[in-house]
């Protein structure tokens, strides 16, 4: 698709627009862009050409340019909703949630009946785990167009998260009946089954969604989870995440802090009573294991897909890398455990216990896409891994300063387990 559009449809008029629309429809975004730029060269004030150009640029993932054009279109016609809506979609693609919400609200105020705008607002609310509000937006959109696919999907999603499974299911059933070839609906149905614990049915729906649209990210992620869920050890971990994802962000924090306080209180309680003192160590270990799993469980279990015929291809590069690095940190732990047992050195054993926790920043880093967060993550991983490796080797060789980095690293990890939660969230 490298050929240039030497427009034979003129630079304005219906044919020029028809050509641009057709090119957009056929996903020939580069040619659509050329066509639209030609139209704009003759009619720089044409708002509609601006709108279409935003889509053409977004289709090529030129988000920064798309945003600029969307802003231009708003400047040209501030009281027309599509410009605001398009700006919102670009902000959404750029993960600028607040700006996206503001622009989508603006579009909705200018044209309250448009279900696309309600749908986008529902998407944004779902992302922020505000299920009730998401449901309201989806319902509002469906009052105008009863079978609006996006609104319907967001409605089903919100209902699931609110625990209203039957309503969610009937919503999806209706959608699948109307549009059996809709990848979004299949993906949603897959997640519905997965959350309900039926990973076999879930896999089938994810397969179907991916058959229809192989690049479907939500279905791909679901496919990975559904394949991992075949593993009985992973199922409770997944259930924990489902439970947490249903909570609002505030409730999630309350949960994390509550568990931590419970741990502190429990430890004090056990330590205070001589008959239960022996339980302190297992209790602390259980808590640490829980914290570790909550950070790295999904990433680590991606390893189980390495040899699965479909699973290994469903994993993307980041996921494969992350699981390999996590596996490596656990591997180092095991190695040092063996060395510690062989040498009988408690200090070597301490390092053995430390290494698996390296997987926390690793898993967190590879989960985020925002470039600066990713870079920060790499820096954090190195800041933990390098001193740990040097210290652990030095300890093994009996060098006196070998344990020097240990305490700072432990404190650093404790800090990371809180700050990282804030930082590596998208």
Partner 1 sequence: MSEEPQEIASLRQALSLSPDNHLLRRMLADTLLKYGQLQAAVDEYRSCLRENPEDHDLMTALAQAYAKLERPGEALVILEQLLTLESPPKEAIQLHASLTGQSPNRPDPEASEAETDDETEELLRAVEEAFGEPDEADEEREAMPAGDQPLDPHLEVERPKINFDSVGGMEEVKKQVRLKIILPLENPDLYKAYGKVAGGGILMYGPPGCGKTLLARATAGQVHSRFMAIGIHEVLEMWIGQSERNLHALFEQARNSKPCVLFFDEVDALAASRSDMRQNAGRQLINQFLDELDGVRTSNDGVLILAATNAPWHLDPAFRRPGRFDRILFVPPPDEPARAAILNIMLRDKPTGDLDYKTLAKKTDGYSGADLKALIDQTIERQIEKAAESGQIEPIRTRDLQEVMKRIKPSTREWFATAKNYALFSNQGGHYDDILDYLKLR
- Contact in structure between 82 and 108 (CB atoms under 8 Å): no
The single residue among 12, 15, 390, 402 that binds partner 1, judged by CB under 8 A, is 15
Of 154, 138, 210, nearest in space to 181 by CA: 210
Binding to partner 1 by residue 34, rule CB under 8 A? Answer: no
CA distance 127 to 134: 9
Nearer to partner 1 (CB atom), residue 271 or residue 310: 310
d(CA 217, CA 93): 13
- Closer of 15 and 147 to partner 1 (Cβ): 15
**Alpha-carbon distances, residue 393 vs 105, 243, 401 (angstroms):** 57, 41, 11
Smallest gap from Cβ 22 to partner 1, in A, equals: 5
- How many of the chain's residues bind partner 1 (CB under 8 A)? 26
Q: Which of 11, 12, 25, 233 binds partner 1 (CB under 8 A)?
A: 25
Shortest gap between Cβ of 186 and partner 1 (angstroms)? 12
- Cα gap 215→423, rounded to integer Å: 28
Which CB, 51 or 137, lies closer to partner 1?
51
Q: Scanning residues 267 to 326, which ones bind partner 1 (CB under 8 A)?
A: 310, 313
Residue from 87, 107, 118, 210 binding partner 1 (CB under 8 A): 210
User: Which residue of 109, 147, 181, 268 would you call a contact of partner 1, by CB under 8 A?
Assistant: 181
| 246, 163 Cβ separation under 8 angstroms | yes
Instruction: Based on the shown chain and the rule CB under 8 A, indicate whether residue 178 belongs to the binding site for partner 1.
Output: no
For partner 1, give the closer residue by CB, 18 or 233.
18
CA-derived radius of gyration, the chain: 26
Distance CA 23, CA 51 (A): 14
Contact 65, 92 (CB under 8 A): no
Contact between 138 and partner 1 (CB under 8 A)?
A: no
21's tokens:
């629309």
Nearer to partner 1 by C-beta: 61 or 109? 61
Single residue of 200, 211, 264, 375 touching partner 1 by CB under 8 A: 211
The residue among 27 and 143 lying less far from partner 1, judged by its C-beta, is: 27
CB of 200 or CB of 264, closer to partner 1: 200
Question: Which region, judged by CB under 8 A, interacts with partner 1, from 22-30, 89-97, 383-391, 414-422?
Answer: 22-30
Choice from 77, 145, 212, 280 touching partner 1 (CB under 8 A): 212
Shortest CB 212 distance to partner 1, Å: 8
Q: Which of 44, 78, 197, 214 contacts partner 1 by CB under 8 A?
A: 214
CB of 210 to partner 1, least distance (A): 4
Distance CA 345, CA 235 (A): 36
| Binding status of residue 19 toward partner 1 by CB under 8 A | yes
Spacing of C-alpha 1 from chain mean position: 32
Hey, what are 426's tokens? 């998208």
As a dihedral over the C-alpha atoms of residue 63, residue 66, residue 72, residue 77, rounded to 10 degrees, the angle is -110
Which region holds residue 213: left if phi is over 0, alpha if psi is between -120 and 50, else beta? beta
333 contact partners, CB below 8 Å, separation of at least 6: 352, 353, 354, 355, 356
Q: How far is 186 from 35, CA to CA, in rounded Å?
A: 35
End-to-end Cα separation, the chain, in angstroms: 35
Q: Closest distance between partner 1 and the C-beta of residue 396, in Å?
A: 41
The answer to whether 371 contacts partner 1 (rule: CB under 8 A) is no
The answer to whether the CB of 298 falls within 8 A of the CB of 228 is yes
- CB 131, min distance to partner 1, A: 30
Dihedral pair phi/psi, residue 216, rounded to 5°: -70, 110
Return the residue of 79, 166, 215, 407 that touches partner 1, per CB under 8 A. 215
Stretch that binds partner 1, among 120-128, 137-145, 206-214, 264-272 (CB under 8 A): 206-214
- Please state, in angstroms and rounded to a whole number, the distance separating the CA atoms of residues 58 and 33: 10
| Among 21-29, 40-48, 159-167, 290-298, the segment contacting partner 1 (CB under 8 A) | 21-29
By CB under 8 A, name the binding residues for partner 1.
Answer: 1-3, 5-6, 8-9, 15, 18-19, 22-23, 25-28, 31, 181, 207, 210-212, 214-215, 310, 313
């Amino acid at each position: 698709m490298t050929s240039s559009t030497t427009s034979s449809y003129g630079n304005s008029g219906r044919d020029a627009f028809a050509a641009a629309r057709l090119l957009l429809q056929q996903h020939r975004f580069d040619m659509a862009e050329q066509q639209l730029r030609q139209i704009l060269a003759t009619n720089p004030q044409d708002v509609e050409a601006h709108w279409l150009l935003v889509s053409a640029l977004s289709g090529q993932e030129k988000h920064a340019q798309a945003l600029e054009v969307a802003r231009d279109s708003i400047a040209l016609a501030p009281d027309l909703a599509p410009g605001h809506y398009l700006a919102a979609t670009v902000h959404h693609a750029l993960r600028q949630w607040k700006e996206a919400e503001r622009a989508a609200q603006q579009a909705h105020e200018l044209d309250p009946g448009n279900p696309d705008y309600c749908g986008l607002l529902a998407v944004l609310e779902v992302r922020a785990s505000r299920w009730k509000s998401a449901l309201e937006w989806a319902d509002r959109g469906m009052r105008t167009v009863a079978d609006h696919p996006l609104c319907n999907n967001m409605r089903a999603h919100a209902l699931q998260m609110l625990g209203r499974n039957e309503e969610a299911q009937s919503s999806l059933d209706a959608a699948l009946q109307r549009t059996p070839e809709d990848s979004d609906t299949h993906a949603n149905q897959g997640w519905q089954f997965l959350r309900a614990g039926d990973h076999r049915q879930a896999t089938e729906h994810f397969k179907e969604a991916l058959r229809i649209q192989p690049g479907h990210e939500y279905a791909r992620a679901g496919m990975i989870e559904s394949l991992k869920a075949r593993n009985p050890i992973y199922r409770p971990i997944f259930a924990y995440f489902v439970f947490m994802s249903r909570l609002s962000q505030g409730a999630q924090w309350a949960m994390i802090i509550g568990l931590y306080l419970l741990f502190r209180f429990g430890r004090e309680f056990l330590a205070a009573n001589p008959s239960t003192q022996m339980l302190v160590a297992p209790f602390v270990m259980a808590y640490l294991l829980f914290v570790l799993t909550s950070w790295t469980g999904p990433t680590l279990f991606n390893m189980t897909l390495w040899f699965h015929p479909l699973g290994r291809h469903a994993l993307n590069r980041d996921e494969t890398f992350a699981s390999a690095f996590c596996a490596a940190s656990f591997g180092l732990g095991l190695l040092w455990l063996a060395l510690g047992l062989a040498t009988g050195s408690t200090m070597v054993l301490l390092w053995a216990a430390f290494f698996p926790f390296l997987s926390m920043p690793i898993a967190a880093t590879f989960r985020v896409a925002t470039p600066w967060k990713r870079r920060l993550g790499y820096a954090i991983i190195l800041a933990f891994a390098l001193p740990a490796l040097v210290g652990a080797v030095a300890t093994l060789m009996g060098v006196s300063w070998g344990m020097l980095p240990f305490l700072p690293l432990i404190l650093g990890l404790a800090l990371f387990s809180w700050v990282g939660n804030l930082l590596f969230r998208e």
